[in-house]
Structure 1
Amino acid sequence: MAIDDLLDEHEQGERVRGWLRDNGAGLIGGVALGLALIWGWQWWQQQREHQRMQAGVQYQAAIDTLKAGNLAKAQPQVAALPEGTYRTLAAMALAKAQLAAGKRDDAIATLRAAKAKDPGMAAIISQRLARLLIDAGKAKDALAMLPADSRDPETLQVRGDAYSALGQQLQAQAAYAQALTGLEVGSPQRNVVELKLSEVGGMPAKPEARS
């Protein structure tokens, strides 16, 4: 190996050692930060999994209490659940049990307090609450909470029920007719809506013949 090559290698080594002296602390700090981030992410994931498991246990306990018919004990159990799917499902189960026990006002209060991030679940809660409000003679409140621009057949049917309860037959006819456009011919739900439409003076449209 030539002396020039040795000098080049020595110079390169000195540069590397100099760079490490200047940047070693930052390099070590970066590695430490990276390890801390990885550990923090793993810890957060473990915490979330633990919380999900704990919520599942609490949810099942509330459901078991409801099955035993102990509404007084189940209500605080449901309220103690963390916000999320388990709490929403438990609230719906509680409202159903309250209604079965003849406690309609309690069921209304439970559904009013229920929150759902999932649009489908939120729609079900709104529909059930609206039906209870109609049954309680509060059809106007039911209409106010149902989305006016909804194309969901079930929501439209409930809107029709509310209008019918208020004696607004034309509006009820329009809601039922619109609900029918989203229902399969011959389905049980369609038959129910057609009957309701007839009761408010409407005429169900005949399904178009398919060639």
Structure 2
Amino acid sequence: MEQFATEDQQVEAIKRFWSEHGTSLIMGAVLGLAGLFGWQYYTDSQISAKETASQSYQAALESLINDENSQPIEAVMNSEDVAGYASIAALLAAKQAVDDGELDVASQHLQQVVSQSADDSLQQVATVRLARVQLAQEKYEQALTTIETVTNEAFSAQVEEIKGDIFSAQGNFDKARMAYSTALEKNMNNRLLQLKLDNLAVSAG
């Protein structure tokens, strides 16, 4: 600020500055505080939502482990997918359904994750498992279409193995051999894959 010769000039300059910019400064301060408290409210709301989701997920997990009623699991699956809990609950429910021999139910849970999860990794896991369920249901073409949508390189060995399983179930042993061989190249230490490949030679013969 420029130097003023007298106190009166300084006072007048301050009054003039406040007259010109005071409203803007007040509004800026108000908006700044509103933004601060608004962000704090948003953050607190997010934390609260995650805590609630975590508690619901824990209850669902306990009910699954203790083989109790499925209401907690269904509640989590039907809620907003905070931190992926709804998707994880659906994956757990699908596994339980497979263990119970309810493949149609398992398929529904897995399709929910594939279509609704915002987490790509969970989607890929669900897709791989869905293909396995469809294979078990003898829906071979559907299973093949499903597994071919998995694009994450981390699942490439599993993708080829499942393709091999599908082709083998269809009696297409040449394609099954190629798929198993590719899977084995990606996962050299998988003894089960090697066993499948060896058994394939016997089946084809």
TM-based fold match above 0.5: yes
What does residue 144 of structure 2 align with? 143
Note the alpha carbon deviations across 1:140-165, whole angstroms, 9 max, x for none: 11111123655421122112212222
State the distance in 2 between where 1:5 and 1:153 align.
Answer: 79
Which one-letter code corresponds to 2:71 in the other structure? Answer: K
Amino acid at match of 2:28: G
Cα shift readout 1:128-148 (whole Å, capped 9, x = no counterpart): 111110010111111111236
- Normalization by structure 2: what TM-score? 0.83
Specify every segment of 5 or more residues in structure 2 that has no aligned partner in the other structure, as ranges: none
Q: Which residue does 2:37 correspond to in 1?
A: 39
| 2:133 aligned residue | 132
Confirm whether residue 78 of structure 1 aligns to residue 70 of structure 2. Answer: no
8 Å contact from structure 1 (residues 150, 156) kept in 2: no
In 2: Cα distance, 1:6 partner to 1:120 partner: 71
- The worse-fitting range, judged by mean Cα deviation, of 38-47 and 98-107 is 98-107
Q: Which amino acid aligns with 1:50?
A: S
Shift of 1:33: 0.1
Match of 1:104 in 2: 103
* Contact 1:71 1:98 (8 Å CA) reproduced: no
Distance 2:134 2:200 in 1: 20
Residue 191 of structure 1 deviates from its aligned partner by: 1.2
- Matching residue of 1:207: none
Q: Quick one: which of 60, 63, 86 aligns to 1:62?
A: 60
CA contact (8 A) 1:131 1:158 kept: yes
User: Which residue, out of 4, 15, 18, partners 2:16?
Assistant: 18
TM-score, length-normalised on structure 1? 0.81
Contact 2:90 2:109 in 1 (8 A): yes
Secondary structure at 2:117's aligned position in 1?
coil
Amino acid at match of 1:123: Q
Is the helix fraction higher in 1 or 2? 2
Structure 2 residue aligned with 1:123? 124
> Could you tell me how far apart the structure 1 residues matched to 2:126 and 2:20 are?
63
Q: Residue 87 of structure 1 aligns with which residue?
A: 86
Look at both structures and tell me which one has the larger radius of gyration over its CA atoms. 1
When the two chains are superposed, the root-mean-square deviation of aligned CA atoms in Å is: 2.4
Count of aligned residue pairs for this structure pair? 194
Give the superposition deviation at 1:10. Answer: 4.1
User: Following the alignment from structure 2 to structure 1, what is the Cα–Cα distance between the partners of residues 192 and 86?
Assistant: 32
Query: Percent identity at matched positions?
Result: 26
Distance 1:42 1:201 in 2: 65
2:135 partner letter = I
Contact 1:153–1:179 (Cα < 8 Å) also in 2: yes
- Runs of 5+ in structure 1 lacking a partner? 203-211
Aligned to 1:176: 180
Q: Distance in 1 between matches of 2:179 and 2:161?
A: 6
